[in-house]
Amino acid sequence: MRLFNLLSCDQSGSGRGRGRGESDDCVTFTTFSSRPLVGIWLLLALTLVGLDQAIKYVIQVLISLNASIKITSFFNLAYVLNPGAAFSFLADAGGWQRYFFIGLGLAVSVLLAFTLWRGVRNRLETAAYISLIGGALGNVIDRLRIGAVVDYLDFHWSGWHWPAFNLADVFVIGGAGLLFLASLASQEGSSRRGVDKMPRRPLTGDQNGGSNS
């Protein structure tokens, strides 16, 4: 649990040095807030969008629609269009999902960007928001441009294929995973601070080895 100890120290936002009796696992950091550098965080998110779109462009140039190139015995580079969400969720819904996912992706991106602007005091959570914004906008651009998402990562085994996905999907799943880790770190940090604030009962004479005669 050393990782979560370090993260929970960061979560607390404490810039204090380690006091007497504090654990060596607790490494303190200066107070962190995403707000002063919100422009940089959003630029990083847009960089992820650009990377996603660049790879999709190369895939569309090199591979014909619904074709694939064998890379290994279990992985192909493919070019398929997915009108649904990640891993082909709601791909056969009938068309309404295009506008639903465009609206959802834009709404989530705006909300997360606003949250970064207000100030997030956790580095993991900040990284998660950057990844989620990049992934959401990457797929929104596809839906606006061609009405479906370009998927190209095709993993398979013994004739069974996992639904194709793309880098934007990886950003979304990775961002969700980072949020989960940030939540665990926050809970552990709160527990540690709660224990530190518990009042300590004074030692009685018997507990202190008896009174001196």
Residues identified as active-site = 151, 169
DSSP string across 111-154:
HHHHHHHH----HHHHHHHHHHHHHHHHHHHHHHHHSSEEEEEE
Please report, for residues 70, 76, 77, 164, the alpha-carbon distance to residue 161 in angstroms, rounded to integers and kept in the order given.
13, 10, 12, 8
Q: Which two tokens stand for residue 135?
A: 């992934």
Answer for the pair 122, 185: CB distance below 8 angstroms, yes or no: yes
Pick the closest to residue 137 from 26, 30, 17, 56 (CA basis).
56
Please report, for residues 122, 183, 192, the alpha-carbon distance to residue 186 in angstroms, rounded to integers and kept in the order given.
9, 5, 10
Pick the closest to residue 30 from 19, 14, 17 (CA basis).
14
Pick the closest to residue 63 from 81, 78, 73 (CA basis).
78
Instruction: Report the C-alpha gap between 96 and 104 in whole angstroms.
Output: 12
CB atoms within 10 A of CB 175: 23
